[in-house]
Structures are given as C-alpha cells and as structure tokens.
Amino acid sequence: MGQIELKGVTKSFGDVQVIPPLDLHIGEGEFVVFVGPSGCGKSTLLRLIAGLEDVSGGHIEIDGKDATDLPPAKRSLAMVFQSYALYPHMSVRKNIAFPLKMAKADQATIDAKIENAARILNLSDYLHRRPGQLSGGQRQRVAIGRAIVREPAAFLFDEPLSNLDAALRVNMRLEISELHQKLKTTMVYVTHDQVEAMTMADKIVVLHAGVIEQVGSPLELYRSPRNKFVAGFIGSPK
C-alpha cells in the first residue's frame, strides 16, 4: 500500500508549462521529500498526486491502479496543509471525526479511531477544546489526526511546519518522523527547507523549475550531487 507512480506527468497553467514531462517512483512506506526553491512546482506536484489539480498529460498510478482521473476522495491519500484548515467552531474531537462522519462511519468506529489517533499524537487531553484554544503545534497535530483516522495509503504534507517558530519546528519534525516510524505509511513531504529534507527523508527529490534535478538518499545527494544546483541547495561541496 502507498506506492505512487508518476509517468510522463505534465502540468500547464494556460500557456505556461510548470511541470515538463516527469517520471517518479514513490515506494511503499517511503518518506519522500520534495525540496526546491519557492515557485519550483513542489505544491503543484503534490496537488497533482492528491487529485486537487488535473494533470495536463501523463498518468498517475496508486498501488498499481490508474488514478489519473480519480477525484481526491477516491485516491486514499490524506493531505495535511500548512494552514491546518481546521473548523474553528468545532471541538478537536469533532474536527478529527469530520472525515469519518462524511464517510458515514458508525459511532463506535469513530470513537475508537479518535482515541487511537489522539493517543498517537498526544492529544487525548485536548479533545474537548476548540482550535483557537490550542498552540500552533497542537493545531498541526489535530490536522494530522484528521488524516490518520482515514487510514490513508499515503500522507501528503505541504510545508506543514512553515507557520511554526523555529523551536517548535524542530519538535514537530521529530514528531512527524516518529509518526512515520509508528505507522510505516508512505509520506510525501514538501518543503523549501534543506535541513528538514536532510533530516526527515528516506528519499529526496530535488526540484528546479518543475524539473527533477536529482533523486536520492540524503547521504547520496550530499556525497554525490549531480550538479551545482543540487550541491548548492543541499549545501555540500562541489
């Protein structure tokens, strides 16, 4: 579960092609980080995988099945946004329950899944609170909780920590890495932060103007950057 294949995927907005034909394999259970400067196409690529944007060309396969034309809800992927996108008038419990209610799950299942997600994310004592009564880090955990209860084949994160202060960012990095170790679910994580990429990724995808410059483990990119752009971005000598 959670294998994603991009085959000749392209994306244009009007006359502007922001993603030239691109192939990428994301393996089951991998923690893959898309890294690159602002405007290089990271969010677009993630949104194409999520189905929030239509591809202009090519195919996307999820677990061996063509998902190119599937709506987001049918892709069994869960997106975690940087803006949290929580409902301010609902309790933490109701926010986490929301996707399960939409899917018409029964109450016992909903309760069990919420308890489980709250335990994993250390939110058990906060379920009655509203998002406005939580810290930034807690709000981010609620957003992740809402993704966890759906038991997706993969989690998609778009710069989830960019609104947090530096100390909290380091904490949340560790928490998300721990979550990956616990769940062993595929995670695709977008960031413009090299440190985040180097510390969290199994596999880094370096993007530059919609083009993949290099794919490899943090160590591979550090030791053998393919070009000056990768070297400069990763911060290794070349």
Asked whether position 17 contacts ligand ADP by CB under 6 A, the answer is no
Asked whether position 78 contacts ligand ADP by CB under 6 A, the answer is no
Residue with tokens 């996108």: 85
Nearer to Mg ion, 80 or 121 (CB): 80
Asked whether position 3 contacts ligand ADP by CB under 6 A, the answer is no
What's the CA gap between 114 and 129, in Å, rounded?
14
Q: Kindly indicate which of the ranges 37-45, 76-84, 93-101, 132-140 contains the residues binding ligand ADP, using the contact rule CB under 6 A.
A: 37-45
Candidates 1, 3, 18, 202: give the one binding ligand ADP (CB under 6 A).
18
DSSP character string of 121-147 = TT-GGGTTS-GGGS-HHHHHHHHHHHH
DSSP character string of 84-126 = ----TTS-HHHHHHHHHHHTT--HHHHHHHHHHHHHHTT-GGG
How many residues make contact with Mg ion (CB under 5 A)? 1
What's the CA gap between 138 and 141, in Å, rounded?
5
Return the DSSP state at 73.
G
Least Å from the CB of residue 44 to Mg ion: 8
Asked whether position 43 contacts Mg ion by CB under 5 A, the answer is yes
Q: Which residues are at the interface with ligand ADP (CB under 6 A)?
A: 13, 18, 36, 38-44
Q: Which residues are at the interface with Mg ion (CB under 5 A)?
A: 43
